A and B are shown apart, each in its own frame.
Chain A
Amino acid sequence: MKAILHVIEYDFKNFFRYRWFIIGLITMNLADLFISAVVFTQMTKNIPNFDYFQFFAPGLAVLGLFASAFMIGREINMEVRREIHHYLLSLPMTRAELAIGRVLAGGLRGMLYMTPLLITNFIVLRFPTLPQILLILLTLLLLAVGISGVSISIAVSTTSFEKFVTARGVIYYLLFFCSSVFYPMSIIQVLATKGLGNLVLFAQINPLTNGADMIRSFLLDSPDYVFSPLMLLDVAIFSMIFVFIATFAYMKVLQRH
């Protein structure tokens, strides 16, 4: 456990080295909320009982969580390319500890970045009860660790930074555009009428949809969003699968070198 904590500490120190990157990310997130969402609110004012700004705010927390949890992959890809893992392997810890530490650190960094966005949600929408807050944090932590796992899995499967960036882009577009982060699930059904029924199914089981809708179920007074334990289960399964894949893949890459 102590070794894992050291790895997490190492990755947190690295995270703060990217302060300019974080400032850039925050600016982009705030521009999404205070420019795009405000304008789309005007464009959707004909929809009864729907305020786009309020709808999008929880989605933004998930958006920020994804972007920051994914950053660990960029670092690991760089380490693989520059062979920094030789140094990491010389440290007094097992490969499993190193791999688990990296996956957890990626997720925790995502949680750290997302916290101000979540607090903004509480201020703008409403404060949930303590059990609701704990449930939100648990779900988002699972989501963040799962995203970190996806990122690491991709990062170790290629030594090319360009390929990593391309794969990140494809995953980002698929996960975000086929989710309820930007628009309600009821509207996404339109894709089924255009012969894209599989994407609707994907959107329903997408962990980002379940994460965002779970926050909405506690923060929005809308009958459209009701908490279901299946939301938590969906995110937990996603997280477990990718934590396992990432840990295994990272260990294999370390072993190979």
Chain B
Amino acid sequence: MRRAAGEQQEGAQVRAMAPASSPSPSVPGPDAVQPVLDIRGLSISYRTRSGDVKAVVGVNLALHPGEIVGLAGESGSGKSTLAYGSCRLLRPPAVITEGSVTYRGRRVSPEGIAVLRQTRTQLRALRWREIAIVFQSAMNALNPVLRVEDQLFDVIDAHLSMSHEEKRERASSLLDLVGIARDRLRSYPHELSGGMRQRVMIAMALAVDPEVVIMDEPTTALDVVVQREILSQIVELKERLGFSVLFITHDLSLLLEIADRIAIMYAGQLVELGTAQRIYRFPAHPYTRGLLNSFPSLHGPRRELAGIPGSPPDLRSLPPGCPFVPRCSFATDACRQIDMRLAPIEEARDPSHLSTCPFVLPDKQLSTSASTEGHQQ
């Protein structure tokens, strides 16, 4: 059940609860370090006249320090809603109905901050300083009537107190960081190319040294060559500055290269979670397999491409059990009764590789070839 809300500071009505409904297996990360961003049992709905659209349903996801976690799925799968919801950037009709989001940065107390319970003022201090976002369309995200420097100054002013000279110095070094000439500080966004605008967005996200950066399709509108430059720059900056990245995209081939772990989202739920290696070599969930099979590969032998038949489900009336059933070639009657829970597929081999599908496991032959490659525990 949903309650219309206690705290209404931030547009979206929030009713933060303890991770009550889902004592699901806490997601084990690559090591035992406390996650810097911990999303537990998060559910978000859009209230519409024709019923609630359940955009995110009970998602558990942890982002560890220095890690790049990829979030992949089709449009409408809820990946952006999840990311924006976890820093409270959604407005009504979006409602966070359940769950908790805990932020544990170096600058905050060790028990962390419950993001969903923050007041408006507390949120202001948290956003951008601790959790920054690189938005999808740089042309729309930058203010067209302000120079680049003024937009950078705005960010710095909001969080740090600096003299004008210090600000200018910081803004210049930010542009150095992303590989743009310093004299571009005086430029307006329309004077920059698409790739440069996206770099300015990245510089702006890093302006006050955040610990978590959410990147929402940062390279979708760009050319492959520019895309690759920006991606390698993101990886390099991450190594240097030590932030963590939640990387949202529908392009799985990109994620396989850049992400440490990948979460696959379908109809508002995580259906598979694992390291990039595991997701690529031993995909378990039929939807993940479909995604992997739907992009043409440039290198290696020509594969038979299959794609995913059908279209995404209507989130207002999801059938019971697995939402992927109508499009799944492995589907049986039992699939309509399963409880959508992420569970380890091959406990022995990799306990962090989780899938919601209890029936379809990584191909046997793949698994055996894995052990010859030295994958055994």
The answer to whether A and B belong to the same complex is: no
A interface list, Cβ under 8 A from B: none
